[in-house]
Chains A and B, each alone.
Chain A
């Protein structure tokens, strides 16, 4: 369920390395917990974000939730499709509903992220 081509955070974001850059989204687990997503607030290209601090907000009919940056870096791409079709987050959280692409500032932060196995264990316990 959690692809091992990427790493994960305790706050349920995923991070995928692509040619030195890092694509970021939220996990299937998070998407299901949120219920129907109706609005996403994402940073602009050029924004500097810091690991483990909020970079945006995802809102469901029920509540607003912060999105946490898996690593420190500069935003180089933002998924504009989510503005008009936030429901993509429920439909394809690991794919079409990626949120931002980061230019990492500190390569060593990658090693602090969870592997797919460790993340599955984390949400397995939380979901039980």
Chain B
């Protein structure tokens, strides 16, 4: 039954139906509504058999999850932004230990300057921490991905991050279908850990591995991720059969096969992109869109197959590798190494800047017209950056840009009055 629900509440209810046994929680905007929702479900007795642990940091949130998962509990936590970075060390540890933790990341920018709004800097910064990273295009998919995430995680003994755009999805009210308890129970088998801390069968977990075998351990971690491509696909297919709707998987094509220009994107911007793509197609522009749902593992072969007929690819990125450029586009270029396809990087929607149809139209017009550069910034306020760059080009030593811009815009008083 569809209900009008906030994305966070729908995720909280869905996670509860996955019957987590330990949930560790630490507040950070814009993730907080999710763990608040789960806390209510535990306190009200609607979610039973679950220990809700209020921890003192995200580092502890992930660490509690590590301990709980190693002791055989189905485990959940959620975070965003600085919180994800604060648990960075534990993230690598959880994947290295092969613990099937599921975590929601309510994607948010990273500071400084501090910024609470949406972009993908957080999850992108931790893209190589060994977790599976799934990106939800809308709230229904965010809901569905959590159910799939547990199945994937527990089948592979790997932790899974479900990335959903902070605010844009977490705080949006929409008609959503929360899977019923019966549906989830039928889809998600009882958690049977592959290794377990148990006095009946004592085992050492987390021992040191030296140069003799460390390369092999990493190789096998990579092999497991590559294997996960199949698991993710099969899980999405099975989900579609049982739930009657498509969610998750590796990629989602929108008129990709016959398009000259294809926009590649992750997350909630897909909705707006598809709107613009459809408008342009009606005007006769040969254009399509490709959503990357699984970013780690990266479906390189599938992506290259989906894009083989394209002339150019515009990768719309909500994060920036400072000093290098695009992050996702680097993976896309790698995947397309055998194809003569132009790959353009467009950095958009950083720190909560809205990605509008109007801007996308202009962007895609110039892409279709062949005038798009290799690296572009959507809606960049050139007057601001140029005023900052001029003195530097004139030989002045650069200082901190955030403060300099704020001073110029008058938000921070430079001189005492």
Bound pair (A, B)? no
Residues of chain A whose beta carbon lies under 8 Å from any beta carbon of chain B: none
